[in-house]
A and B are shown apart, each in its own frame.
Chain A
Amino acid sequence: NAGVTQTPKFQVLKTGQSMTLQCAQDMNHNSMYWYRQDPGMGLRLIYYSASEGTTDKGEVPNGYNVSRLNKREFSLRLESAAPSQTSVYFCASSASRDRGRVDEKLFFGSGTQLSVL
C-alpha cells in the first residue's frame, strides 16, 4: 500500500530558483493538501484542493502555487525560492464525502526536506 507518495525527499535550492514538489495518492481520495512544518510552529496549511478541479488558499499561501493535475496528483510549485521557504513539506489527503460528511482523517506522505540557500 503506497498511500501518499511525495518526491523528492530532499532538495537544496539557491535563492531565486524554481521547483515543483510532486504528490500522488492511490486511495481514491477527493481532497488533498500541502502543509509546511517548521520548528515550534507545527504544521501550517499552504493550499488545499477539496476536490478535483478546485484549489484554495490555506494559512500561508504566499510564494507558492498549486496544481491539481487529476484526482491522484497535487503539485506544489515555488516560482522563486527564498530562504524563508526552507522547511519540511508534507502532502496529505482525505477521503471522499460519504452521505454528506467529509472523512476528516488525514493521510500524510513522508515529507520533503527543502533547503533554500
Chain B
Amino acid sequence: GNSVTQMEGPVTLSEEAFLTINCTYTATGYPSLFWYVQYPGEGLQLLLKATKADDKGSNKGFEATYRKETTSFHLEKGSVQVSDSAVYFCARRRTGGFKTIFGAGTRLFVKA
C-alpha cells in the first residue's frame, strides 16, 4: 500500500548536534514529498518539500533529498537549536492528487 514510515522518537540532542530523522515511503508513481513541523500547541506548517527525484528541499538550515532508488527522504540539520524542539512529520502526496499521507511523527527535544 501507500504509506510513510519514519523513525520513532523521541530524539534527544544537545544544542549544535547533527540531526537526522529517517523517512521512507511506498507509493505508486512519483509522489511529492514533504516535511512538516508542529510546534507545541500549534498546527502543522510546511518545512520543506521536493517534487521529483534528486530534488533537495531546504529551509531554516534543514535539508532533505528525494532519493527514488532508496524511496527515502531523510531530514537533516547540521546544528540544531533549542528552538527546533518540535514534532516532525514526513508526508507524501501523489502529484496532482488531493490526499497527503503522513508518517507517525518524530518528536525532537534539543537541550541547551
Contacts and interface: CB of A to CB of B under 8 A. Distances in A.
Interface of A: 4, 31, 33, 35, 40-45, 48, 50, 56, 58, 90, 92, 101-102, 104-111
A91 to B, nearest CB: 8
Contacts of A110: 41-43
B46 interface: yes
B14 interface: no
A43 B89 contact: yes
Contacts of B97: 102
Contact of B105 (A42, A102, A111): A42
Contacts of A41: 104
Given A90-B43, A108-B44, A48 B104 contact: no
Interface of B: 4, 32, 34, 36, 41-46, 49, 51, 89, 93, 95-105
Contacts, number: 57
B100 A90 contact: no
23 contacts: A33-B100, A35-B102, A40-B104, A41-B104, A42-B4, A42-B89, A42-B102, A42-B105, A43-B44, A50-B98, A101-B96, A102-B96, A104-B49, A104-B95, A104-B100, A105-B34, A105-B46, A106-B36, A106-B44, A107-B45, A108-B44, A108-B45, A109-B43
A98 B45 CA distance: 21
A22 B71 CA distance: 37
Nearest to B96: A102
B33 to A, nearest CB: 10
Given A42-B104, A104-B32, A104-B49, A4 B43 contact: yes
List the 3 closest A-B pairs by CB distance, nearest first.
A108-B43, A42-B102, A43-B102
Contact of A106 (B4, B46, B51): B46
B87 to A, nearest CB: 9
Nearest to A108: B43
Contacts of A92: 43-44
A56 B72 CA distance: 29
A97 B43 CA distance: 24
